[in-house]
Structure 1
Amino acid sequence: MSSNASSSLFETNDDFAMVEYGIAYFVIAAPLFPLFFVIMKIIGCTMNSLWICDFPVMTLLAVCRILIFSNVIGSKKFPLSIKVILTTIISWTLFLIIVGSITQNIYLPTPGWDYDFSVDNAETFATLEIIISFVCLLLSYIAYIFMAYLIYAKKNLISCHQSRKNEIGILFQSTFVTLYITGMIFVWHQDLLSFVSFVNMEIQRNQAILNCCLILHCYVNPVLTLVCNKTIREDCLKFLGFRKRGSVASAVLREFLASSGAFPAPSWLLAEESGY
């Protein structure tokens, strides 16, 4: 190849249309850079608000489970009070999303979203988040302990069956999930909870561990439900085809005993009804 041909690679292009396209692209894309960061903060605010919403919903489900087990409410139709509480939770979540999107009080440090305390009232919302989280965790834990007690009491009434696997499973699952999320919140909100500042989050290893915990927390409760709940575990295995579907005899027997009311249901049917 001649030297003239090789040097032509470095010569400017005389196609002015490409230059015009480049200038137009830059003019259009330049305003999108700040818009991109605004959209990212809105997404972060939405994710953080849904994280907060998860705690009262979890508490409400735990309370509803007790009420259903105690035959106070039905499993197919909830009373007006439950609907009002659920509507209030959804309204509060939408309020957090709107306020956060307007004030841009969320930013993305490592390893996850956090409040930008340079924004007005950001510390107030962070404090409210911690209060809501801990109160809901405590109420949910108490509700599951009470649920285990109800199963224990009902078993003692209908039979002399002394297996406590169901109650132990509920207590283990609720205790592990509560401690897991509580510890994660303590480490995450070190700016407001100074007594856990011994965990240095400036170290990348600690950031990676917390990030893994944030990802895994979505799977902790479902996995423990499969491990501790025999009925749900067997239903999942049947759905996946690892076990053959059983006959409808147990369902018919359960319906007959429930409709007659003359005889107490066996303990193994009670375990199926309670979900454990």
Structure 2
Amino acid sequence: MVENSVFNSDTELLIIGVIYAILSAIVFPVYVLIIHALHSRSDLRENISYKLINLLNYCDVSQASCHFLTGLFLIFPFFTKKVDFFVRIVGCTANTLWLATFVIMAILSLARIGIAFFKTKPTKWSIWMIVALVIGSIYIFLVWAIGCITQNFQLTGPSWSYDMTVKFAGLFADLELVLCFPTLALSFCSYILIIYSIYKVSKRQISQLKSSSSLRTEVGILIQATILTTYMAILITFWHNAESWFKMTNVTLAALNCVWILFSHLNSILLIATNKGVRNQILKPFCNRVPSRHTSRLGPLSHVSSVNIEK
């Protein structure tokens, strides 16, 4: 490598940077299609659950943008030398968006509980939803603002981490665990309760077709929620215990960071795979024969709520 080259002289970090950039970039067109699909249909656009899912999509695609920039920082190391304050802001932003996904998933799971057990309207914001969003947004904003001001997140080799030399950085690292695991447990338990409720009610219903359809719908949601929450829990566990469990090399750190990057891919794949309405809407421009059915895996539960999605 030429000494005066703008590219990273460390071949290993250069390759890792290219991998980061490619992995992050390929998810952009997928999310463009998903977000367009959720905005283009009124039944999806007006549904509160889908509004929260779209908010999660925006967080994911924004994280992917930060990961793409991370790849550029590794390919062109002059960024960390000349504008390290900007590099740290990007890292802090990526981490804050990651934390925001936990808040959104927790509110989404509670919204599903409200629809299932308390007949909450699926197209109307409840007071508790607004309060939860406001509190969560304030917390996330404070984490981001304090992180940007104190510059408590740094790019060390191929991986992001808290800069423990910065005051209160250790506190924010501990707060991540306090936030993440309870919200993951809440999300998973919520869908378990919904599945149990549908299964229990379906036994007493005369129309087995209707009940089994609702059960399949919620099972699909449970599969998506279970995979995502399990993936996130494993990632958080490995991320906070990596130093004691593994030998810290560039390859190890890059592998952990790639698992973080691939979360955006997993979320988009699961959303398309488990939701026929979104899948049909995405395929519609490419195949005119795909019927546009106003069906949704996150619609109101027909056996516990008489409120239908407004069309």
> Shorter-normalised TM-score: what interval?
0.5 to 0.7
Q: 1:218 aligns with which of 256, 261, 264?
A: 264
1:199 aligns with 2:199: no
Query: Cα distance, 1:116 vs. partner?
Result: 0.7
Query: Cα distance, 1:159 vs. partner?
Result: 2.2
Q: 1:233 aligns with which of 254, 272, 279?
A: 279
For 1:148, what is the secondary structure of its paired residue?
helix
State the alpha-carbon separation in 2 of the partners of residues 99 and 199 from structure 1.
31
Question: Are 2:92 and 2:153, in contact at CA under 8 Å, matched by a contact in 1?
Answer: yes
State the alpha-carbon separation in 2 of the partners of residues 160 and 76 from structure 1.
27
Question: Are 2:152 and 2:162, in contact at CA under 8 Å, matched by a contact in 1?
Answer: yes
State the alpha-carbon separation in 2 of the partners of residues 181 and 108 from structure 1.
21
State the alpha-carbon separation in 1 of the partners of residues 197 and 128 from structure 2.
23
Instruction: State which drifts further: 231-240 or 178-187.
Output: 231-240
Instruction: State which drifts further: 155-164 or 116-125.
Output: 155-164
TM-score, length basis structure 1:
0.67
1:173 aligns with 2:224: yes
1:54 aligns with 2:107: no
Residues 68, 187 of structure 1: alpha-carbon distance in 2 compared, 3 angstrom cutoff: same
Question: Are 2:91 and 2:153, in contact at CA under 8 Å, matched by a contact in 1?
Answer: yes
State the alpha-carbon separation in 2 of the partners of residues 149 and 232 from structure 1.
26
Q: What does 1:27-38 correspond to in 2, within 5 Å?
A: 36-38=83-85
Q: 2:208 aligns with which of 160, 164, 169?
A: 160
Question: Are 1:59 and 1:137, in contact at CA under 8 Å, matched by a contact in 2?
Answer: yes
Q: Which runs of 5+ in 2 are unaligned?
A: 1-78, 296-301
State the alpha-carbon separation in 1 of the partners of residues 143 and 274 from structure 2.
35
Residues 171, 247 of structure 1: alpha-carbon distance in 2 compared, 3 angstrom cutoff: closer
Residues 155, 222 of structure 1: alpha-carbon distance in 2 compared, 3 angstrom cutoff: farther
State the alpha-carbon separation in 1 of the partners of residues 96 and 140 from structure 2.
6
Larger radius of gyration: 1
Q: 1:185 aligns with which of 219, 236, 243?
A: 236
Question: Are 1:170 and 1:228, in contact at CA under 8 Å, matched by a contact in 2?
Answer: yes
- Size of the alignment, in residue pairs? 219
Q: What does 1:94-173 correspond to in 2, within 5 Å?
A: 94-156=141-203, 157-161=205-209, 165-173=216-224
State the alpha-carbon separation in 2 of the partners of residues 224 and 188 from structure 1.
23
Query: Cα distance, 1:174 vs. partner?
Result: 2.3
Residues 222, 134 of structure 1: alpha-carbon distance in 2 compared, 3 angstrom cutoff: same
Residues 147, 45 of structure 1: alpha-carbon distance in 2 compared, 3 angstrom cutoff: same
Q: Which runs of 5+ in 1 are unaligned?
A: 1-31, 251-264
Q: What is the Cα-based RMSD across aligned positions, in Å?
A: 3.2
State the alpha-carbon separation in 2 of the partners of residues 179 and 41 from structure 1.
29
